[in-house]
């Protein structure tokens, strides 16, 4: 039995990921290439699975449009899953300060 207080280590001894989603590192930031591949696999996997379901329903019901609806549903569902796993968030660089978006804090909105 694994000790829950002891951190697990990956093959390289770097601690592995936190198990929340593929492509997300321990500190919660996305891992660039790995996150991109995870998003790609969610979207392509969704398209394939739901297209096959639509193809089967088209065959059973004698229609020709459900496969396209299934492909669209799979793409939207794959993007939704990757967004919920935090893989599509905006990129943040450590140590850099970015200009805030929104009105200025002093209340002077038309300052020059």
Asked if pLDDT for residue 80 goes beyond 90, the answer is yes
What are the sequence ranges of the domains in the chain?
33-84
Question: Quick check: pTM over 0.85?
Answer: no
> Environment class of residue 97 by beta-carbon count within 10 Å: exposed (0-12), middle (13-18) or buried (19+)?
exposed
pLDDT of residue 54: 97
Among 69, 73, 19, CA closest to 46: 73
Asked if pLDDT for residue 12 goes beyond 70, the answer is no
């Amino acid at each position: 039995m694994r000790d829950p207080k002891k951190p697990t280590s990956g093959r390289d001894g770097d601690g592995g990921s936190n198990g929340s989603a593929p492509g997300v590192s321990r500190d919660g930031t996305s891992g660039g290439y790995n996150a991109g591949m995870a998003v790609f696999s969610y979207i392509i996997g969704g398209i394939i699975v739901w297209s096959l379901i639509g193809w089967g329903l088209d065959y059973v019901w004698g229609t020709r449009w459900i496969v396209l609806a299934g492909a669209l549903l799979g793409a939207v569902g794959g993007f939704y899953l990757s967004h919920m796993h935090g893989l599509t968030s905006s990129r943040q660089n450590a140590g850099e300060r970015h200009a805030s978006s929104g009105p200025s804090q002093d209340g002077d909105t038309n300052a020059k």
